[in-house]
A = this chain, B = another copy of it.
Amino acid sequence: MTRYQHLACLLSDRIEQGLYRSGERLPSVRTLSLEHGVSISTVQQAYHLLEEKQLIVPQPRSGYFVATRKSTPPVPGMTRPAQRPVEITQWESVLELLSSRMDSDVLQLGSGIPDLTQPTLKPLWKIQSRMAQKQDAGLLNYDSLVGVSALREQVARLAIDSGCQLSADDIVATTGCHEALSISIRAVCDPGDIIAVESPTFHGTMQTLRGFGIRAIEIPTDSVTGMSLEALELAFEQWPIKAVVVVPNCNNPLGFIMPESRKRALLALAQRFDAAIIEDDVYGELAWEYPRPITIKSLDMDGRVLLCSSFSKTLAPGLRVGWVAPGRYRDRVLHMKYISTGSTATQPQHAVAEFVRQGHYGPHIRRMRQVYQRNYDIFSCWVRHYFPCGICVSRPQGGFLMWIELPEAFDAVRLNTELRTLKIQVAVGSLFSASGKYRNCLRLNYGLPINEHTEQAIAQLGAAVEQAMLACNAETLHATSLTN
């Protein structure tokens, strides 16, 4: 993006945010040039661009005024999944997404990988190097089934920020949040049972349900406030739901933070229908807001919430260090942990514990929040600029994932196949539905480096989407004419 495009983007953001209202006079070219340290001609180019986009209108001898603007894409509305428990499909698509992960030529716009390039990660290497030099045989040995105690102590300490009063004994270390979710699901459900999930929801959770023969009832979910509690209540009344899996903080894929009142209401519902809540907080630490949002676990008085998380999104996924606070399901969770992997790799647990203990975690998280928030501003600018009209885009409140909804008839699976030649890969929406809905949606990772290569990819993606939308409209027209 050039300088003038950036400025145009910034101005359109301000218009969107209501800082400049419809009909209001915009700052003069000279004022803006001074304010932003750019040349007069850059400002003029920016204004021209906004004029072309019909966001502003020139008034001879008076400057520029805010017009009825090309608005920021709206957020996606409440989703409408199937109203009955279904068996999960889509494994082949998940496998395809995972397989392309290893192709370094392909830009992984669809991945859930955090930015691993920040200097605040450096102490982690130092700690690991020192550990190797010490040659402590204990690091080569199995540690406790519940995990390294130094790690569990630090996890308990960090959990205070999310409102939880946990002790090290309340925590079981796992091989990533993936294992935490998997053993939690198996601890509270048997094959044939029904679990309620947000729709869309993380494909890993969904595939776990499939693997254990558990059916999912997908609950309509709003991209701003989260799971519809009204729909959940109806589902509870109609089906014997054993547990609810939710990602209430920086939801994957929608990015919302569930308001506290709704968290309370969800817990009350679970109590009323005596269901467990499996709370996936893996992106929770990456919320923009400070202090970070509370977990449902922090409100839990009767141990029915199993809080699952990891250091995969905040530090590094390759460490596979996760954890679960299983509440009253501890015994079953321990058994499931034992049969799943025996115990968790020892060294990575010690490395993470030491990283947190030495005080590197706070500064790192603060930096990552800033990085992702800045990235989001730029990415959403790019999406607005390069994508066609008629799309909805989520407004994440943390994390690094963005959800784009295209018109109903759009086929993102086909698009993703076409994108292969461009060496771009997105996560298609159908991965996030039990029954393959949301084929018209995409999930993008804005944690990727902000550079020309990424911008070019978004531009190419936007163009491909535009082309596919045109083709799709033509097909619809054709189909309509055939029917008539």
Contacts and interface: CB of A to CB of B under 8 A. Distances in A.
Contact of A140 (B143, B208, B318, B341): B318
Contacts of A121: 140
Contacts of A125: 132-133, 135
Interface string A4-36: 000000000000000000000000000000000
A113 interface: yes
A407 to B, nearest CB: 32
Interface stretch (A259-267, A331-339, A394-402, A467-475): A331-339
A347 interface: yes
A303 interface: no
A239 interface: no
B186 A213 contact: no
Interface in A132-186: 132-133, 135, 137-145, 175-176, 178-179, 182, 186
Contacts of A317: 140-142
A335 B142 contact: no
A317 B343 CA distance: 9
A240 interface: no
A151 to B, nearest CB: 13
Given A95-B334, A346-B318, A101 B132 contact: no
B316 A140 contact: yes
The contact size tier of chain A is: 35 or more
Contact of A175 (B91, B122, B133, B175): B175
Contacts of A479: none
B318 A143 contact: yes
A101 B318 contact: no
A441 to B, nearest CB: 22
A129 interface: yes
Contacts of A128: 128, 131-132, 347
Interface string A94-133: 1100110110000000000100110001101110110111
A345 B142 contact: no
Contact of A141 (B113, B131, B175, B334): B113
Given A140-B316, A339-B211, A341-B320, A132 B135 contact: no
Given A102-B143, A191-B191, A345-B318, A137 B122 contact: no
A320 B139 CA distance: 11
A207 interface: yes
A133 B129 contact: yes
A340 interface: yes
A72 interface: no
B186 A142 contact: no
17 contacts: A95-B335, A101-B142, A102-B144, A116-B140, A121-B140, A122-B135, A129-B132, A140-B318, A143-B318, A190-B191, A191-B213, A212-B339, A318-B345, A318-B346, A319-B345, A340-B341, A347-B348
Given A101-B144, A320-B343, A347-B348, 9 more contacts: A95-B338, A102-B143, A175-B345, A176-B343, A178-B339, A186-B211, A208-B339, A212-B339, A318-B345
